[in-house]
């Protein structure tokens, strides 16, 4: 996960330079970074959004302060290649990260919910 792969450079979630989120969080871009504009979106609004969502989750008690030095979070980040609005990228990544953390730490959905719904729900990219 932390290997440097051309156009998919993993990065730490930071609120600002030298202010890393805790638990330590690694962002992995899901779409190739093609140019400086793409890089500025992943290393800017997406990076800060994920970092803020992680730290806000600690502040709100979703993640216990007592475990922040013992765990890490891995976060795949998708930014559509045509996305240009930094504020929307921040908003969408913040909300997605908050939802994912809440669900993970509340063990949602339960396996019974998954089993109950697995045959009645569709996948957006496959039948």
Given this model, what pLDDT does residue 3 score? Answer: 58
Q: Which residues pair with 14 in a beta bridge?
A: 20
What fold does the segment set 11-117 form as a domain?
Ribosomal Protein S5; domain 2 (3.30.230)
Residue 40's CB: how many other CB atoms inside 10 A?
13
In this structure, are residues 76 and 82 in contact, taking their beta carbons and an 8 Å threshold?
A: no
Of the two residues 60 and 34, the one the predictor is more confident about is 60
Given this model, what pLDDT does residue 127 score? Answer: 78
Mean pLDDT of 40-52: 97
For the chain, percent of residues with pLDDT exceeding 70: 94
Could you tell me the pLDDT band of residue 9, with boundaries at 50, 70 and 90? confident
Residue 107's CB: how many other CB atoms inside 10 A?
8
Of the two residues 82 and 2, the one the predictor is more confident about is 82
Element (H, E) at 87: helix 86-105
Whether the pLDDT of residue 102 is over 80: the answer is yes
pTM above 0.85, yes or no: yes
Given this model, what pLDDT does residue 72 score? Answer: 98
């Amino acid at each position: 996960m932390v290997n440097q792969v051309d156009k998919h450079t993993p990065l730490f979630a930071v609120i600002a330079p030298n202010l890393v989120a805790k638990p330590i969080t690694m962002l992995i871009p899901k779409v190739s970074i093609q140019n400086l504009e793409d890089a500025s979106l992943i290393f800017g609004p997406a990076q800060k959004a994920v970092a803020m969502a992680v730290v806000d989750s600690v502040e709100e008690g979703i993640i216990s302060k007592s475990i922040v030095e013992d765990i890490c979070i891995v976060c795949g980040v998708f930014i559509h290649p045509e996305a240009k609005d930094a504020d929307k990228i921040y908003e969408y990544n913040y909300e997605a990260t908050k939802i994912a953390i809440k669900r993970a730490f509340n063990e949602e959905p339960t396996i019974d919910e998954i089993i109950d719904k697995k045959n009645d729900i569709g996948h957006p990219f496959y039948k």
